[in-house]
Amino acid sequence: ILTSLGICRFCQLWSSMLHNFGSHFHLNYNFWCFGIIWQFTNILSFWLTSLLAVFYCVKVSFFSHPIFLWMKWRIVRWVPQLLLGSLLVSCVSTIFSATSYYIIIQFISMKDFPRNSTMLERLEAFLWDFSTLRKVVVLVIPFLLFLASTVLLMALLSRHLKQMKDLHTGRPISSREAHSAALRSLGIFLILFTFYFLTVLVSILDVLFNKESWFWAWEAIIYALVSIHSTLLMLSSAK
């Protein structure tokens, strides 16, 4: 999962840089394909991050419920299927997005014809709203999975750390430090990914301000969060 996420983040950063470079300088090349690649890697990044959080939560947490124990036993075997499922969801969503964008462009070019202009505008507005809603849904679902898994795992680790301190068990101090480090790491991941989700959501909905004047600052915030999160993942997993 970490390897897939690392490759995805690497491609995401490079595709965004090339797309922004081509868009800013109005180069007459097919730089729009890098925008599609970025959208694909962005969706895949969300699902892989969610999968990573769910995997950690199931493996580290402990509940006596039979369903949870069954998941804990099967989760490792499911990893290839879950990775393939994340890839398929990203592919299907990107294909729908590229198709909707192409149809919208065709509708815009057809506005030169006066007949049925109202119907064309309604169809264009419907496709635009549907595309926006699809983008939001396909990102909200993995974010909610990530949020639930991370918050549950942090709550369990906090309770366990408190029990270790209250009972004064014979566990070494290094064990408590490991729990504290895990809590700090999860807290940082939660803050970074939540902020990244909000920036991408605002970028899709375009509700706060005109991004033209803040474009490069906006891009720097988004991709700095991706880079910081990837760096922290590498530092926490040396292998």
Rounded Cα–Cα distance for residues 107 and 116 (Å)? 11
Over residues 103-125, the pLDDT tens digits come to 766 666 665 555 556 666 676 67
Q: What is the DSSP string of 217-233?
A: HHHHHHHHHHHHHHHHH
pLDDT at 196: 84
pLDDT-derived band at 87 (thresholds 50, 70, 90) equals very high
pLDDT at 188: 82
- Helix (H/G/I), strand (E/B), else coil: 111: helix
pLDDT at 153: 87
In sequence order, which ranges of the chain are alpha helices (DSSP H)? 2-24, 32-60, 66-109, 117-167, 173-205, 215-236
pLDDT at 91: 92
- How far from chain centre, in Å, is Cα 63? 28
Rounded Cα–Cα distance for residues 190 and 146 (Å)? 8
% of the chain residues with pLDDT over 90: 13
Q: Are 61 and 153 in contact (CB under 8 A)?
A: yes
pLDDT at 142: 93
Start-to-end Cα distance in the chain: 13
pLDDT at 110: 62
Q: Label residue 182 exposed, middle or buried (CB < 10 Å: 0-12, 13-18, 19+).
A: middle
Amino acid identity at 28: N
How many C-beta atoms lie closer than 10 Å to residue 28's C-beta? 7
For tokens 């530092």, the residue is 235
pLDDT at 43: 92
Q: Are 227 and 219 in contact (CB under 8 A)?
A: no
pLDDT-derived band at 167 (thresholds 50, 70, 90) equals low
% of the chain residues with pLDDT over 70: 74
Residue 49 has pLDDT above 80, yes or no: yes
Residue 232 has pLDDT above 80, yes or no: no
Over residues 129-161, the pLDDT tens digits come to 777 788 888 899 999 999 999 998 888 888 877
Task: Give CA separation, 133 vs 142, 193, 201, 225, in Å.
Answer: 15, 21, 11, 24
Over residues 207-227, the pLDDT tens digits come to 545 556 666 676 777 777 777
pLDDT at 231: 78
User: pTM to 2 decimals?
Assistant: 0.79
